[in-house]
Amino acid sequence: MYIDKQLIVRCKKNEKAAYVELFKHYERYLYKLCYSYVQNEQDALDLSQEIYIKVFRSIQRFDEKMPFHPWLRTIAVNTCLNFKRSNRINAVSLNSRDEDDRSLEDMVASTMDVESEIENNDLGLLIRHKLDTLSPKHRMVIILRYYEGLSYDEIATVLKEPLGTVKTDIYRARNALKDKLKRELEQ
């Protein structure tokens, strides 16, 4: 996601239009990232708003020679992790939508093979549910690697951890998730 460096410079000059443009550019990305952590529409919206406030307050310290996206992602991930740490109750909405903003009603009304769509949705929900049972650290590396598509090096940078630690954490998280899914499917 390329951001024009001039947009950042304008934000540093406190131009309201520049902030609006910047936030519009990242609105969907931040919402999807937050939603992947909290699995709740309202909390994801609240977290997105909190991230915007943090960006607004700290944009002066951002070096516009550096890429903006990793800096924003670090703020977003840390904000989501802090929320998860402070709010251990995981509520699931019955009216929830998936990442593509589809509800069960939308899928049933589609012309696609409804049965396989529901099976895929059920498997996705099962994986997300089991992902919630992992430790916060393991959940975070799985989301960054497989939902965000970050490389091991990028994850190490975001988490400020050695590359070897990140590789080990991903290996252990995958195995823990695989074991949980296997036990669930055997029942």
Q: Six-digit token pair at 158?
A: 């975001």
CB 117 within 8 Å of CB 105: no
What's the number of CA atoms in the CB half-sphere (13 Å) around residue 138?
16
Q: Are residues 176 and 114 in the same domain?
A: yes
- Alpha carbon 59 to its chain's center: 21
Decide if 145 is inside a domain: yes
Q: Are residues 50 and 81 in the same domain?
A: yes
Q: Are residues 7 and 63 in the same domain?
A: yes
| Rounded CA separation 12/134 (Å) | 39
Residue 131: per-residue pLDDT: 80
Q: Which residues of 3-40 are buried (b: 16+ CB within 10 A; e: fewer)?
A: beeebbebbeeeeeebbeebbebbeebbbbbbbbbbbb
Q: Are residues 75 and 115 in the same domain?
A: no
Rg (CA), the chain: 18
Q: Are residues 74 and 118 in the same domain?
A: no
Long-range CB contact pairs, 86-89, < 8 A, 24+:
87/43
Decide if 77 is inside a domain: yes
Q: Are residues 76 and 147 in the same domain?
A: no
Asked which of 31, 56, 88 is the last residue of a domain, the reply is 88
Q: Are residues 1 and 83 in the same domain?
A: yes
Q: How many domains does the chain have?
A: 2
Residue 93: per-residue pLDDT: 42
Q: What is the DSSP string of 141-165?
A: HHIIIIIS---HHHHHHHHT--HHH
* The amino acid at 48: S
Residue 49: per-residue pLDDT: 92
Decide if 18 is inside a domain: yes
Decide if 94 is inside a domain: no
| Rounded CA separation 29/48 (Å) | 10
Decide if 152 is inside a domain: yes
Per-residue pLDDT of the chain (187 residues), as tens digits, is 456 788 888 889 988 898 899 889 999 999 988 888 888 888 899 999 999 999 989 999 888 888 888 888 889 988 888 887 776 544 444 344 454 555 444 544 444 444 444 445 556 666 777 787 888 888 888 888 887 888 889 888 888 889 999 999 989 988 888 888 788 777 6
Asked which of 53, 88, 123 is the last residue of a domain, the reply is 88
CATH at 47 = 1.10.1740.10
Q: Are residues 80 and 32 in the same domain?
A: yes
Q: Are residues 110 and 176 in the same domain?
A: yes
Which residues have C-beta within 8 Å of that of residue 100, sequence separation ≥ 6?
none
Q: What is the DSSP string of 76-133?
A: HHHHHHHHHHH-------TT---TTS--HHHHHHSSS-HHHHHHHHHHHHHHHHHHHT
Asked which of 88, 116, 148 is the last residue of a domain, the reply is 88
Domain that holds residue 163: 106-187
Residue 125: per-residue pLDDT: 67
Decide if 121 is inside a domain: yes
Q: Are residues 49 and 111 in the same domain?
A: no
* The amino acid at 14: N
